[in-house]
Amino acid sequence: MKLSFLPHSRQSVPPEPGAAPRVRRLRDLPGPPQWPVVGNALQVQLSKVHQNVEAWVKRYGPMIHVRLGGFPLLVVSDHEVIASLLRDRPEGFRRPSRMQEIMAEMGIQDGVFVAEGEHWAKQRRMVMASFAPGQVRAYLPALLKVAGRLRDRFELAAQQGQAIDLQADLMRFTVDAISGLAFGMDVNTIESDDDVIQRHLDQIFPTIWRRSHAIVRYWKWFKLPRDRRLDRSVKAVNVAIRGFMAQARVRLQDPARRAAPHNLLEAMIVAADEPGSGMSDDDVVGNVFTMLLAGEDTTATSLSWMIYLMSRNPHTLQRARQEVDSCLGDLNNWTADDLGRLDYLEACIHESMRIKPVGPFNVVQALKDTVVGDVQIRAGTSVVMVMRHDTLSDDTFPQAQRFMPERWLDEATQLAPHHAKRVSMPFGAGPRICPGRYLALLEIKLVAAMLLQHFDIVSVDTPDGRDADEHMALTMVPVGLKMRIRRITA
Ligand code: HEM
């Protein structure tokens, strides 16, 4: 039998020459004791499920067996095994089919996040065209405008001595940034406090999380008022996107615009119109929807965690500010090259994503009977990949619990292994790695640099004065961070 994912380091006991390699069955693996019928379902708390699973692998080992009701799960934490699973897509593994069913039930067209097989491959080509590096650079002026507005909002809070609701304000930034990029619309939630599309998206995001973990799928038979509200929201966003699309098609009649699209929607339409792309208008709509869902919380949450961790380690704020002051002039004139020179700030991003990844676990489903590590699983079995285990091991990252951005700068310090980026995978890995990662890094750098250039961070407080609580709801969000800042006077 072929051991498809057995990394060399795990083959500690080589089989006798000629003997078949030893393979374990899923049910023979260690794991938390299972109760009749429900298995381990009642031992997890939805908002803390990542910590529950992390605690299990710490206790029972890198490959464990868990059962949620009738569904057996393989849980893995070894980064090499995880990387091989992520690479074996779309042929060997897929995202959980439940996610795709839920989105379809909600009336959301397949986008690249949930599509599979050949359909996914075509969508991915179209989406990647809109994230080409030159294209992302073209979005910078729009991002600078939004960052300038956030600076003005922060300035007001500083003048009035008000605490800033960190996650909420950063969400305003990412909502405005993504809406601008997705369809060239100047949404401006930073100044106006409201946006119609955003109000609808706020309904959709938590529902995906709730429904993907529901034990009884009641909404298939009857709808509660909140389900009817959701239906109205999905419909409204679909109608809005189709409206933007019609406008974009008119603009794209201009050959110059077609040669240099101004936003994701235009870039996707151009890519979809290429002969042989196999993409329809429905695919474009599904992917604009996907960008709105995938690009907001993830980026805002990563920024919140980074600002929180840096505020707990003031010397990192100081060093990052020196770098920003030496590399950047007036915000309106920042270029992608200027931002590319902020190596220390970039190290802060990698370090905070190592400690606080917004996706602390990822799930794939086997498309055929196969072997993971040395464990045989059947087609359809889900594999939960714990992304924050090896990344917090002192064996891999010395003093792993400490926030030390310098570990990403200089291999000579040996604070990180030479292949650190293959251990810490906050954007996933393999063919389905996050296509928005460069855009996200650009946004994070932009906001952090704006903050450091103009303000001193006085404090970032949690509601109870202890370490920030991690709340899992599709992304792992810090609970209730309040930031106080002071304007730097020249
Ligand atoms: C710091 C911010 C972000 C983080 C941490 C993040 C993380 C992730 C992760 C972990 C995945 C799964 C990768 C895998 O399965 O291997 C993913 C997929 C994806 N992300 Fe992001 N993401 C971020 C920002 C964005 C942005 C800004 C966009 C777009 C505007 C975006 C669009 C997507 C899409 C479309 C996929 C699905 C790709 C596919 O299945 O082929 N993400 N992201």
Residue 27 has what DSSP assignment? G
Residue 44 has what DSSP assignment? -
Token output for 321: 């500010």
Number of Cβ within 10 Å of residue 407's Cβ equals 23
- The reported pLDDT for the residue numbered 135 is 76
Contact indicator for 391, 354 with CB cutoff of 8 Å: yes
Percent of the chain residues past pLDDT 90, beyond the cut:
62
Determine the distance separating the centroid of ligand 1 and the alpha carbon of 437, expressed in angstroms: 7
* pLDDT, tens digit, 9 for 90 and up, residues 131-143: 877 778 878 888 9
What 3 state SS string does 150-217 have? Answer: HHHHHHHHHHHCCCEEHHHHHHHHHHHHHHHHHHCCCCCHHHHCCCHHHHHHHHHHHHHHHHHCCCCC
* pLDDT, tens digit, 9 for 90 and up, residues 173-187: 998 888 888 777 776
Q: Which of 35-44, 186-195, 356-365 has the lowest mean pLDDT?
A: 186-195
Token output for 71: 């569904």
Alpha carbon nearest to ligand 1 atom 11, residue: 434
Q: Is the pLDDT of residue 7 over 60?
A: no
Q: Is the pLDDT of residue 15 over 60?
A: no
Q: Is the pLDDT of residue 13 over 60?
A: no
Contact indicator for 363, 95 with CB cutoff of 8 Å: yes
Residue 482 has φ and ψ, to the nearest 5°, of -120, 125
Q: Is the pLDDT of residue 414 over 90?
A: no
In the chain, what are the helix, strand and coil shares in percent, each to the nearest 5?
55, 10, 35
- The reported pLDDT for the residue numbered 88 is 97
pLDDT band at 18 (very low <50, low <70, confident <90, very high): low
pLDDT band at 98 (very low <50, low <70, confident <90, very high): confident
Placement of tokens 């996040």 in the chain: 113
Alpha carbon nearest to ligand 1 atom 43, residue: 434
Distance CA 101, CA 107 (A): 10
pLDDT band at 392 (very low <50, low <70, confident <90, very high): very high
Residue 406 has φ and ψ, to the nearest 5°, of -60, -15
Query: Using alpha carbons only, what angle is made at residue 227 by residues 225 and 233, rounded to the nearest 5 degrees?
Result: 105
Q: For 131, how many CA atoms within 13 A lie in the half-sphere containing its CB?
A: 21
Determine the distance separating the centroid of ligand 1 and the alpha carbon of 490, expressed in angstroms: 39
Distance CA 137, CA 434 (A): 18
The amino acid at residue 466 is R
- The reported pLDDT for the residue numbered 10 is 35
Distance CA 422, CA 221 (A): 45
Percent of the chain residues past pLDDT 70, beyond the cut:
93
Distance CA 307, CA 154 (A): 14
Determine the distance separating the centroid of ligand 1 and the alpha carbon of 5, expressed in angstroms: 24
What sections of 368-489 are H helices per DSSP?
420-423, 437-454
Distance CA 190, CA 453 (A): 19
With a Cβ cut-off of 6 Å, ligand 1 is lined by 86, 112-113, 124, 178, 290-291, 294-295, 298-299, 302, 358-359, 362, 426-430, 432-436, 439-440
pLDDT band at 17 (very low <50, low <70, confident <90, very high): low
Q: Is the pLDDT of residue 21 over 80?
A: no
* pLDDT, tens digit, 9 for 90 and up, residues 252-295: 999 999 998 888 889 889 988 999 888 889 999 999 888 888 88
* pLDDT, tens digit, 9 for 90 and up, residues 38-89: 999 999 999 999 999 999 999 999 999 999 988 999 999 999 999 999 999 9
What is the number of H-type helices and E-type strands within the chain?
19, 13
pLDDT band at 8 (very low <50, low <70, confident <90, very high): very low
Contact indicator for 336, 140 with CB cutoff of 8 Å: yes
Contact indicator for 352, 306 with CB cutoff of 8 Å: yes
Q: Which of 38-52, 182-196, 297-311, 363-377 has the lowest mean pLDDT?
A: 182-196
Considering the segment(s) 19-487 as one domain, its CATH architecture is: Orthogonal Bundle (1.10)
Token output for 228: 């009817």
Atom of ligand 1 nearest to the CA of 429: 16
What residue ranges do the domains of the chain occupy? 19-487
Distance CA 251, CA 253 (A): 5
297-319 mean pLDDT: 97
Alpha carbon nearest to ligand 1 atom 12, residue: 428
* pLDDT, tens digit, 9 for 90 and up, residues 160-169: 999 999 999 9
Determine the distance separating the centroid of ligand 1 and the alpha carbon of 294, expressed in angstroms: 6
Q: Is the pLDDT of residue 445 over 70?
A: yes
pLDDT band at 19 (very low <50, low <70, confident <90, very high): low
Determine the distance separating the centroid of ligand 1 and the alpha carbon of 466, expressed in angstroms: 30
Helix (H, G, I), strand (E, B) or coil at 404: coil
Alpha carbon nearest to ligand 1 atom 21, residue: 434
- The reported pLDDT for the residue numbered 406 is 94
